[in-house]
Amino acid sequence: MNNNKGIKPSFTMALLPIALTLLLLAIQLFVFNDFTPHIPLAIGIGITAILARFRGYKWHDIEAGVFNALRIALPSIAILITVGMIVAIWIASGTVPVLIYYGLRLLSPELFLASGMLLCAIVSVSLGTSWGTVSTIGLALVGIGAGFDIPIYWTAGAVVSGAFFGDKMSPLSDTTNLAPAVTGVNLFDHIKNMVPTTLPSMLISLCIYLFVGFYVIDSKSVDFSTINTITTGLETSFNLSPWLLLPPAIVLFLSLKRMPSLPSLFAGVVAGAVLAVVVQGFSLHEIFQFMQNGFSIHTGVTELDSLLNRGGIQSMAWVITLVMISLGFGGALESTHCLESIIEVILNKTRSFFGLQAAAMGTAVVTNLVAGDPYLSISLPGRMFAPAYIKQGYSKLNLSRAVEEGGTLISPLIPWNAGGAVVITALGLGIADGNIENLLYIPLAFACWISPLIGLFYAATGRFSPKLTDDERKQIDTEETPTQGVEPIQPN
């Protein structure tokens, strides 16, 4: 936080830089038909700074807020760089090709979407990273889906549903640890309290994907000659063996041993590089080239080449720059107290538990939308709304669940958010190239938006909405938690 002496903005002035930036985004997306949100968000930083200067803020204070947000993002950027390397190396090693090969041989078109969602959920819970799951297992599933002639947006929706379920529920996930940390609740109590919304949403999504697989997708129209062409191309271009599954097995083992995500993923890079040299016969220099610029091959099968020629650090440059700019915009809004002013107005108008839960979740969603960062969307409302829950006599576990659902789960559904950018880039949706129809993955990622709706239903009915316990009251009394001027009301 900054220490400037600028005037705190009114609600209207706090909304103004956000509204102008969203207007620029709308012009870029819908008028220019150009899906590159970087420049509108960068201009948004300038708009925020200019308006703040009129209120007495100094540039170095605004700059400090921007750079502080970037410092917070460095671990995420490190993971993105590692993911870029792991995608290229796991293709070069044959790990992704062997997953596609076995998937096309073993899975059926009818069960593909449901199986893909469950597989991504299991892997994501084990690894604690949705981004890593999307970029590896998700990429393989895109290849399998292409072989079954299933539209890529259906595959992406199933992948996102499963992968971000794991990010929400895994004790190894950074966002799952962040939500209870900023709200002041126990990690495993937080995970337990998310089960009533997460489990039904996953079951509903599973049923939808099964229905689509059996009754919407025409399995009879699947061109098995295309599948044979792809599998033959894989057999010709790579030495395929079950041993090629060793890199993901190593990453999974290290994650289960509670190793942090970054070294676990990098171990997967090293294991993949060894297999690429020993099994596939690539040179060390080629391995370095793949890590930097992505894997490159010409199999003679167009569908296969478009799937496998990807990865590398440079492939993540678009995402990394977007993360940096969007976080900088969020940091500018936070350091000039725009976000704080908006939240305070919302808090002072909230008079019911349902309204409070909806406001907390909605604030996380809007912060995701505006700032483009899932971490800020969890931490900001998590800090600001906590006293209101205490005043209403409700446990802060309700708040930690609300910000997870509005933060973690909505992140991949916003294309210019860090989560959405990873999904679009890693799965090769080609939105920037004009394939706007692939944004249909957003409504088709059912678990990500059904879970928040179930959470709001519980808030309205009072079910699975824990009240403050005696132990929590004693802890709050000793901490002397501030109330931020929120008026107390009786619990529902």
pLDDT bracket for residue 223 (50, 70, 90): low
What's the whole-number mean pLDDT along residues 434-438?
86
Please state the rounded mean pLDDT for residues 438-457. Answer: 95
> Worst-scoring range by mean pLDDT, 317-331, 422-436, 477-491?
477-491
Q: Which residue has tokens 């107290």? A: 337
Check residue 173 and give its pLDDT: 80
Helices and strands (H, E) in the chain, number of each type: 25, 0
User: In the predicted model, is pLDDT for residue 483 greater than 70?
Assistant: no
Count how many Cα atoms sit within 13 Å of the Cα of residue 51 in the half-sphere of its side chain.
25
**Residues 106, 155: Cα–Cα separation, whole Å:** 17
Task: Look at the pTM and tell me if it is higher than 0.85.
Answer: no
Q: Note the pLDDT of residue 475.
A: 67
pLDDT for res 306: 78
Mean pLDDT to the nearest integer, 57-72: 86
Axis-axis angle for helices 418-426, 152-169 (nearest 10): 130
pLDDT at 211 over 50: yes
State the average pLDDT over residues 280-309.
89
Which residues contact residue 11 at a Cβ distance below 8 angstroms, ignoring those fewer than 6 apart? 341, 342, 345
**Residue 175 reports pLDDT greater than 80:** yes
Q: Among the listed ranges 119-123, 290-294, 321-325, which one has the minimum average pLDDT value?
A: 321-325
Among the listed ranges 158-162, 448-452, 472-476, which one has the minimum average pLDDT value? 472-476
**Is residue 5 very low, low, confident or very high in pLDDT (cuts 50, 70, 90)?**
low
Residue 481: which pLDDT band, with cuts at 50, 70 and 90? very low
What is the rounded average pLDDT for all residues in the chain? 86
Q: What local confidence, expressed as pLDDT, does residue 355 receive?
A: 92
Q: Is 444's pLDDT higher than 90?
A: yes
State the Cα–Cα distance between residues 77 and 420, nearest whole angstrom: 15
For residue range 348-378, what is the model confidence (pLDDT) as tens digits?
Answer: 888 899 999 999 999 999 888 887 778 778 8
Give pLDDT, residue 485.
Answer: 41
Q: Looking at residue 262, what is its pLDDT?
A: 83
What integer pLDDT is reported at residue 486 of this predicted model? 41
- By mean pLDDT, which of 222-231, 286-295, 397-406 is the weakest? 222-231
38-63: average pLDDT: 90
Question: What pLDDT does 461 receive?
Answer: 94
Mean pLDDT of 28-35: 80
* Alpha-helical regions (H) of 301-439: 302-308, 317-335, 338-348, 353-371, 374-384, 386-392, 397-407, 418-426
Q: What is the pLDDT, as a whole number, of residue 384?
A: 81
Whether 484 has a pLDDT exceeding 50, the answer reads no
Cβ neighbours for 487, distance < 8 A, ≥ 6 positions apart: 348, 391
pLDDT tops 60 at residue 456: yes
Taking only the tens place, the pLDDT of each residue in 88-146 is 999 999 998 998 888 888 888 899 999 999 989 988 887 778 888 898 888 889 988 88
User: How far is residue 181's CA from residue 203's CA, in Å, rounded to a whole number?
Assistant: 28
- Across the range 279-294, mean pLDDT stands at 95
> What percent of the chain stands above pLDDT 70?
93
Q: Does 257 score more than 50 pLDDT? A: yes
Q: How far apart are CA 18 and CA 411, in angstroms?
A: 18
Q: Give the 3-state secondary structure of residue 483.
A: coil
Residues 349 and 363 sit within 8 Å (Cβ to Cβ):
no
222 vs 237, more confident:
237
Those residues whose C-beta lies under 8 Å from the C-beta of residue 446, and which sit 6 or more positions away, are 157, 161, 201, 204, 205, 208, 209
Distance of alpha carbon 252 from alpha carbon 258, whole angstroms = 10
